[in-house]
Amino acid sequence: MRGLFISFAIILLVSCDNQSLATVVDDYDVSKLSIDFGNEKAYEIGANAEGMPIFKDSKKALEQAKLDYKEAFAAVAKEFDLEPVSDSNYKEYKQYGWQVSVGDKDVQEQGVGLSKFFDIYENSFE
């Protein structure tokens, strides 16, 4: 019984710790970022408990990114044979976004932006 309690306590602590990473606890100086999201409300940024930049609403930010980087998502998925972006594969999009080698310079720039987006997005989860 004691072992069960300890296991439950550990799981609870780990869950709370990950949740705190997704919680905005302070403002964040967005001039420190390598990307400018303009005034788009979905991309509002704050700082988590570790002082890392996070989106205030990561779900809204991802939905907006799917619109803003639509061509890059498609190019990365095609070139690197990826499934549509999800919570389980967004790191692959981060890794490959800046590497996309299509001939369209605008799509290449979107790919770089996509990687930068996910660099912030992942701070809510790690």
Q: What DSSP character marks residue 122?
A: G
Does residue 54 sit in helix, strand or coil?
strand
Does residue 63 sit in helix, strand or coil?
helix
| DSSP-assigned states of every residue in 10-49 | HHHHHHHHHHHHTS--EE--GGGSSS--TT-GGG-EEE-T
Q: Please give the residue range of the domain that contains residue 81.
A: 2-124
Q: pLDDT tens digits, residue range 81-103?
A: 999 999 899 999 999 999 999 88
**What CA–CA distance (Å, rounded) separates 47 from 55?**
8
pLDDT of residue 103: 87
Q: Which two tokens stand for residue 87?
A: 């919570």
| DSSP-assigned states of every residue in 80-94 | TT-PSP-TTTHHHHH
pLDDT of residue 18: 54
Q: Are 89 and 110 in contact (CB under 8 A)?
A: no
**What CA–CA distance (Å, rounded) separates 124 from 19?**
8
Q: What is the mean pLDDT of the chain?
A: 87
The CA angle 120-52-44, to the nearest 5 degrees, is 55
pLDDT of residue 10: 45
Q: How many domains does the chain have?
A: 1
pLDDT of residue 1: 60
Percent of the chain with pLDDT over 70: 85
Is residue 38 over pLDDT 70?
Answer: yes
Average pLDDT over residues 20-33: 89
pLDDT of residue 13: 44
pLDDT of residue 78: 96
> Where residue 40 falls among pLDDT bands split at 50, 70, 90?
very high
Is residue 19 over pLDDT 70?
Answer: no
Which among 19, 29, 18 is positioned nearest to 51, based on CA atoms? 29
